[in-house]
Amino acid sequence: MQGNDVRLGLPVDPTVLFADKKGVQKPGIEKRRMKLLQNLGFLGKFLDADERIMMVTTGCSPFSFFEQWTMGALWVQLLKRAVLVFTNKRLFHIPVTSQLRYRGSIAQVLYQDCKWLRIKGSALVIEYHSGKKEKFLGIPWGDRAIIKRFQLQAAEGEQPSALPRRNHLCPNCTYLLPQETLACPSCGLEFKNKSKSLVYSLLLPGGGYFYAGHHALGLLDALVESFLLLAVVVNFFEGLGGNPEGMTSAFIVGIFLVFEKLVTIFHSNGFLAEFIPIDLKAVLSGRPAPVAPSPAMPAPAPTPSQRQHSPEDILSLRSQSPA
């Protein structure tokens, strides 16, 4: 049986949210879940009237092999940290800082858009009806067993939405955002864009990371780029002064500098794909967007989760009997 309660202003099902893999509610689990919920007060405006939180855990946003190869496994999992919130209708993907603070970005996965959603190793793996797969690595060991006991499935006869994928929502007004949009079609909230990121990345050491809000990585990259740039200049002038190896060294180091710039651009574009608001402080403070909506922006139809449903209309979430 499912229950209903309100914790920190958010509707939850305590019989699931605070229970272990056998369905037994534990004070320790409740304490951990409440700690995560403390930073999710903004989530209330995204929930439907009949929607409740069933599970909240941590993990990593999906990342590519190239990102892992160029950042390193530890760095990429730190920079791509996220909170995952399971409700009775959908999964919310919320990028956060290393201290689990909201970055002003949020996406949803409707269960009806998934062929399946399951735990594989340390990852939550989703295959959409489009055939695309996504992995959310770094699910805590204890939470993996709890998620496994859920049966996540759409209601019988439920069809996939028009956009069967992970879709971002406007952090200001909750509107479904079209891909690659520069501003919310509904409220006009503006997002950081790849063009400016390119300029910052090319002109300033570590500029792309600073623009994307990853200051620690930007500082580290700035030190590396500055060293490489200095080495290019020194070797270039040594070459002009008659050192036959100077120009060759300047060319070789220059190649490394160009590669470093390209990596910065690639990483920054990956961060910006999460729709980072330009006025992040306004979003985090709860103030409405200060700009007017753009009438020229296309407005997609509302998703099923934006319409009213009965409690079990989309999701059947039941506890399996323990083996």
Nearest Cα to 257, choosing from 224, 208, 234? 224
What are 95's two structure tokens? 């990028």
Nearest Cα to 91, choosing from 69, 115, 117? 117
Measured from the Cβ of residue 317, the count of other Cβ atoms closer than 10 Å reads 20
pLDDT band (50, 70, 90) for residue 289: low
Rounded to whole angstroms, the Cα distance separating 266 from 259 reads: 11
Rounded to whole angstroms, the Cα distance separating 162 from 175 reads: 15
* Residue pair 10/40 in contact by the 8 Å Cβ criterion: yes
What's the sign of the alpha-carbon dihedral 32, 38, 40, 44? positive
More confident residue, 231 or 286: 231
Q: How far is CA 309 from the centre of its chain?
A: 26
More confident residue, 258 or 282: 258
Q: Tell me which amino acid residue 301 is.
A: A
Average pLDDT, the chain: 84
Rounded to whole angstroms, the Cα distance separating 197 from 240 reads: 34
Please give the pLDDT value at position 168.
96
What are 68's two structure tokens? 């892992």
Rounded to whole angstroms, the Cα distance separating 44 from 52 reads: 10
* Residue pair 107/163 in contact by the 8 Å Cβ criterion: no
Report the C-alpha dihedral over residues 314, 136, 221, 239, rounded to 10 degrees: -110
* Residue pair 206/219 in contact by the 8 Å Cβ criterion: yes
What are 321's two structure tokens? 């009997």
pLDDT reading at 230 higher than 50:
yes
Please give the pLDDT value at position 156.
60
State pLDDT tens for residues 147-183: 888 766 655 666 788 888 999 999 999 999 998 899 9
Give the full edge-to-edge strand order of the sheet including 90-95. 5-7, 10-12, 53-60, 81-87, 90-95, 106-110, 167-169
Q: Tell me which amino acid residue 203 is.
A: L
What is the share, in percent, of the chain residues with pLDDT greater than 90? 51
Max mean pLDDT range (110-124, 251-265, 278-292): 251-265
Rounded to whole angstroms, the Cα distance separating 169 from 266 reads: 23
Please give the pLDDT value at position 74.
80
State pLDDT tens for residues 18-44: 888 888 888 999 999 999 999 898 999
Please give the pLDDT value at position 249.
92
How many Cα atoms within 13 Å fall on the side-chain side of residue 275? 27
Angle of the 246-272 helix axis to the 194-203 helix axis, nearest 10: 150
Lookup result for tokens 């019988």: 156
Rounded to whole angstroms, the Cα distance separating 83 from 124 reads: 12
Asked if CATH classification 1.20.1250.20 holds for the domain at 5-182+294-316, the reply, yes or no, is no
Please give the pLDDT value at position 307.
42
- Domain edges within the chain: 5-182+294-316, 195-272
Rounded to whole angstroms, the Cα distance separating 166 from 117 reads: 13
pLDDT reading at 212 higher than 50:
yes
